C-alpha cells in the first residue's frame, strides 16, 4: 500500500494560501510558516501529519497528496476545513 508523509498549512481563505505559496517560492521555511499561520493543531509540529494511506484524509486533500512527488508543494487545496498548502515529504510504496 502506498503511504504519503505530508505537512500542511491550513488557512481560512484562498488569498491567505496564495500568499503563503509566494512566501515558500521566495524561500521561506515551511515549518516556520506552519507554526505562524496554520489553523490546524499540526501547525505546532510544523504542519507534520505523519504517514497516511488512501482513505484516511478528505478526498481533495488526499488527491493532491497522492498526485504529487516527494518534495512537491501544492495548493491552495480547498476542503470543508479551509484552504491547504501541502508539502509532500515522502512517498513509500
3-state SS of 37-52 is HCCCHHHHHCCEEEEE
Apex 16 CA angle, 48 and 88, nearest 5: 30
Q: Indicate the pLDDT class of residue 30, thresholds 50, 70 and 90.
A: very high
User: Looking at residues 27-37, what average pLDDT do you find?
Assistant: 98
Q: Looking at residue 23, what is its pLDDT?
A: 98
Q: Indicate the pLDDT class of residue 28, thresholds 50, 70 and 90.
A: very high
Per-residue pLDDT of 42-84, as tens digits, reads: 999 999 999 999 999 999 999 999 999 999 999 999 999 999 9
Q: Looking at residue 91, what is its pLDDT?
A: 96
Query: 59 Cβ partners below 8 Å, 6+ apart?
Result: none
CATH, range 3-92: 3.10.50.40
Amino acid at each position: 500500500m502506498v503511504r504519503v508523509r505530508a505537512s500542511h498549512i491550513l488557512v481560512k481563505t484562498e488569498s491567505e494560501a496564495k500568499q503563503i505559496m509566494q512566501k515558500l517560492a521566495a524561500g521561506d521555511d515551511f515549518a516556520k510558516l506552519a507554526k505562524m499561520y496554520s489553523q490546524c493543531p499540526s501547525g505546532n509540529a510544523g504542519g507534520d501529519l505523519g504517514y497516511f494511506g488512501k482513505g484516511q484524509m478528505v478526498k481533495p486533500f488526499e488527491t493532491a497528496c497522492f498526485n504529487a512527488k516527494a518534495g512537491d508543494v501544492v495548493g491552495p487545496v480547498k476542503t470543508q476545513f479551509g484552504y491547504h498548502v501541502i508539502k509532500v515529504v515522502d512517498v513509500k510504496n
